[in-house]
């Protein structure tokens, strides 16, 4: 392992520019390179943002020892390829929790209070604003939370504070403070469905035509997890048919959506470009945790948030 304390600081590749004011987090322990792709071959460590890390890209850096995600998800990294190459992959699971949960609630409230439509009408001085408003009152409505991890559980508590009835589906969590239900029951009972599960083979496009049809007419759908958990064509169809009343998304497929995409042209849809965790404190926590993971790996120790533990068996 390369020692962080050596006289030649290890090369740390970043795949996006360092945010202004974050230079102190890096200190003098690394030679920071990137985000230009031609810098990658010198890398001993990588701070991975949202870019893809297939095996071919890893192979460009023969001395690469660790890929440290600046967020919680790691579906952008080929774990099998990393393990085969002896590369430790880790994430920063605690870092985006607060900001992403808050953003989820902002999406929900923005959509259900018809903020985009009302803002447009006001800008255009268009009509009887009070009569035109189609906002939904959330108190007493049922919200179904899919995924009861750090973010999902926080969203559940926030929804309960709005006097919503909370039901949860997560087969991997036993200690759930709200009613735990099967997925079919959650689709059927929920006035609002909000997604907080990772993207895996099991969850890919779990919100498909069948799931959407099972939801109540006039239901609300929120997704701040991963775009791939939704069949996006089916989602658009459910909107166009009027089956869904509102949709609010921070994640899509692809990211960003192309100009003119149907999800960007409807006033009952709110879309943000996968920025839920990118707040002042959230972003700093992500970088601080990700760099701490790099220190741990290059120092010869095993990070608590390693997501390919099999690499240590090699």
| Residues forming the active site | 226, 255, 274
| CB-CB contact of 45 with 64 (8 Å) | yes
Report whether 218 contacts 245 (CB < 8 A). yes
Helices and strands (DSSP H and E) totals, the chain: 11, 12
Whole-number Cα distances in Å, 180 to 154, 172, 223, 229, 259: 15, 11, 20, 20, 39
Return the closest-CA partner of residue 226 out of 201, 197, 246: 197
Cα separation of 192 and 195, whole Å?
A: 10
Tokens of 310: 């099999």
The DSSP code for 95 is T
Distances, alpha carbon 285 to alpha carbons 67, 105, 130, 278, 280, in Å: 17, 21, 42, 10, 9
- CA–centroid distance for 163 within its chain: 26
Helix (H, G, I), strand (E, B) or coil at 269: strand
């Amino acid at each position: 392992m390369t020692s962080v304390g050596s006289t030649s600081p290890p090369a740390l590749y970043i795949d996006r520019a360092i945010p202004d004011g974050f230079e102190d987090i890096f200190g003098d322990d690394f030679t920071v390179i990137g985000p230009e792709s031609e810098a990658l071959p010198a890398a001993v460590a990588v701070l991975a943002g949202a870019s893809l890390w297939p095996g071919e890209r890893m192979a460009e850096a023969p001395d690469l020892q660790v890929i440290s995600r600046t967020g919680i998800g790691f579906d952008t990294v080929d774990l099998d390829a990393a393990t085969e190459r002896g590369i430790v992959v880790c994430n920063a699971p605690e870092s985006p929790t607060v900001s992403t949960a808050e953003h989820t609630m902002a999406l929900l409230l923005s959509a259900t209070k018809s903020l985009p439509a009302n803002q447009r009408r006001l800008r255009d001085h268009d009509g009887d604003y009070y009569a035109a408003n189609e906002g939904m009152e959330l108190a007493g409505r049922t919200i179904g939370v899919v995924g009861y991890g750090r973010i999902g559980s926080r969203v559940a508590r926030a929804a309960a504070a709005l006097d919503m009835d909370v039901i949860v589906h997560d087969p991997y969590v036993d200690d759930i403070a709200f009613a735990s239900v099967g997925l079919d029951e959650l689709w059927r009972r929920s006035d609002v469905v909000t997604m907080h599960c990772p993207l895996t083979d099991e969850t890919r496009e779990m919100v498909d035509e069948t799931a959407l049809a099972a939801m109540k007419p006039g239901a609300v759908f929120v997704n701040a997890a991963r775009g791939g958990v939704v069949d996006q064509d089916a989602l658009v169809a459910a909107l166009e048919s009027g089956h869904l009343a509102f949709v609010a998304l921070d994640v899509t497929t692809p990211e960003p959506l192309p100009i003119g995409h149907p999800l960007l042209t409807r006033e009952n849809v709110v879309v943000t470009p996968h920025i839920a965790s990118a707040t002042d404190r959230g972003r700093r926590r992500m970088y601080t945790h990700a760099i701490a993971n790099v220190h741990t790996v290059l120092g010869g120790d095993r990070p608590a948030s390693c997501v390919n533990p099999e690499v240590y068996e090699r």
